Amino acid sequence: MPTYNGERFLMEQLDSILGQRGDFDLHITVRDDGSTDGTRDILRRYEKEQGITVILGERVGVNASMMALVNQADGNADLYAFSDQDDVWYDFRLQEAVQALRTYPVSRHKTTDKPLLWICREELTDENLQTIGHMPHPKYLGHFHNAVIQNKAPGHTQVLNRALWALFKDYPPDKIFVYDWVVYLLASAFGELLYCPRLCGKYRQHGANAIGYSPGGWSHFRRRLKRLFSGSLGGIAGQQAYFLTRYRESLRPDHRHMLEGFVNGGRSLPARLRFALTTPIKRDTRLESLQFRILYALGVFT
């Protein structure tokens, strides 16, 4: 768990993780990213009373802070889970993941070296944990042609097996737009997704979320407009370009060809138009796919 100025909700989340029930040993490691409120005092108390590991770091941002945690994690663990600082987990959440990830490779593949990513749904709540909606069931989950342009596996729902963690652990933070998206790309390209449709926690929306989520309607539209005009779509393209460079020889030919088109097509208007008209990349709906093609042709991903 990376933290930053999270004193308002941090204790509720830590308590919900410490209260997990199931057949597993659990260790919590938290890196604080230079908080200036009471977050560090809370962490010191939980370190003393509950035995969690606390790393007090300088302000480096969420991606670099998470990668510091990933690289310092115990390499002998079977599974790794990411946590936000302001949610609340139901007490059966990790047992759901443990059961699925322990039994899936044994029953289906007879091996444990396949990268596996487990994700779940969560309730959407306001800052007082009053329900305002549910995360939708993901469409095209694990389809690489969708994963290039849409992250269906939010980090606060992710549990990785050791094989996937090993792929991710030395990823350079300066090449990451959103850390959980890279994990999702890796799982989609080289592993498999395990989806739990059960609601396994409360995803708190309070106006200061690092990413946040909107259930739809006007708030969702405003969030997408803000992302468009903030220049973040260029950040997506940069992340995917590095992914292509890093894994070009390991990708399936059709995945490599599609990703090359996405990365290289932005160099000229004719190339962008050609890619926009022929790409297999798709979003959840036909309208969203059309929007992507138009935005790509206009060069907003460059």
- pLDDT value of residue 97: 98
Q: Which residues of the chain have pLDDT under 50?
A: 107, 109, 209, 212, 217-218, 220-221, 225, 228-230
DSSP character at residue 231: T
The tokens 């919900």 sit on which residue?
Answer: 16
- pLDDT value of residue 231: 54
Q: Exposure pattern of 55-91 as b/e (b: 16+ CB <10 Å)?
A: bebeebbbbbbbbbbbeeeeeeeebbbbbbbbbbbbe
Q: What is the pLDDT of residues 130-142, one digit of tens each?
A: 999 999 999 999 9
- pLDDT value of residue 208: 58
- pLDDT value of residue 268: 86
- pLDDT value of residue 171: 96
* Strand ranges, E, within the chain: 2-3, 29-33, 53-57, 79-81, 88-89, 116-125, 131-134, 159-161, 192-204
Domains, the chain: 2-204 (3.90.550.10), 217-298 (no CATH)
- pLDDT value of residue 221: 45
Q: What is the pLDDT of residues 132-171, one digit of tens each?
A: 999 999 999 999 999 999 999 999 999 999 999 999 999 9
- pLDDT value of residue 104: 83
Of 3, 16, 8, 19, residue with least CA distance to 207:
8
Cβ burial, residue 182 (10 Å; 0-12/13-18/19+): buried
- pLDDT value of residue 265: 79
